[in-house]
Amino acid sequence: MKKILIIIFFLFGCDQNNSNNNKILLGKKIYIKHCSSCHDSGLIESLTSNALDLSKIIYNVTYGGHGMPSYKDILSDEEINSVALYIKKIGRNSLSETK
């Protein structure tokens, strides 16, 4: 019985990782389409060094501000969450490379 539970937890964990990876891949596509022209051009702050909480990134993408447009009527909730996960990931990767 214990082995069965371990296998179930392992499979659930793998499924969760695949789900997050798929969301991050979707987020990357959205980022390239909607965000990179400004954030990767040097015109405004790069997002690769952000240390924002995921909820703050979601809020910023949803409502915009400081010259950034709101995406609440452009992207679905799933797309906003996916691009936020991608932005969090690139920020985290950049911060860990500097340590």
- Sign of the CA dihedral 20, 24, 30, 35? positive
CATH 1.10.10.10 at 2-97, yes or no: no
pLDDT at residue 91 in the model: 80
- Going from N- to C-terminal start, the domains of the chain cover 2-97
Q: Enter the DSSP assignment of 49.
A: G
Instruction: Give the mean pLDDT per block of 10 residues along the chain (99 residues).
Output: 57 61 94 90 75 90 92 97 93 53
> CA 39, CA 99: separation in Å to the nearest integer?
23
